Amino acid sequence: MPAPKGRSAAQARAAIQAALGQIGFCLPGSITIRHARCGKPRCACAADPPSLHGPYIQWTRTVHGKTVTRTLTPAQYQAYAPWFANARQLRALTAELQALSLEEIARAEGWAKITPGTPAPPRTRPVRGPNPNYPKPPKTPGSQSA
């Protein structure tokens, strides 16, 4: 949420702080959802239209420098998707607070505008929210995902 014009830095900081205080459990890492063909020519996944296998929901994170992957059931993914969304919001709020702090030190010290610099590459890819198209709806011409 961008700060409205005229709001003081203290107010902006308080708003970020309040949002941080509302965050629930946060799960690190990223979710990858795949559907796949098995390669058997007579399988439904080879039909037209294909009925692919899956979803295979993989939760990937880094533990002591090593990638750890765990497969989630669709029910688990639905249950914990908000925790992944919380982690995404936490990262956004952290970035917002840092940008605000850079503005404040520049203002307080009379420095020229501080360039935020190149952000470090994210350690994890952004996590998608719950897929509204799961389970996959039948394709209808002109239909549009929400």
Binding site for Zn ion (CB under 5 A): 38, 43, 45
- Shortest Å distance, C-beta 35 to Zn ion: 10
- Shortest Å distance, C-beta 56 to Zn ion: 13
* Distances from the Cα of 20 to the Cα of 28, 37, 84, 86, angstroms: 16, 42, 15, 10
Question: Cβ closer to Zn ion: 7 or 35?
Answer: 35
- Shortest Å distance, C-beta 135 to Zn ion: 17
CA dihedral 74, 47, 144, 135 (to 10 degrees): -10
DSSP 37-62: ----TTSGGGSSS---EEEEEEEEEE
Q: What's the token pair of residue 15?
A: 């708003």
- Shortest Å distance, C-beta 130 to Zn ion: 25
Range list of H helices, the chain: 9-22, 74-109
Question: Cβ closer to Zn ion: 1 or 38?
Answer: 38
- Rounded distance, CA 51 to CA 128, Å? 23
Question: Cβ closer to Zn ion: 9 or 43?
Answer: 43
Question: Cβ closer to Zn ion: 39 or 110?
Answer: 39
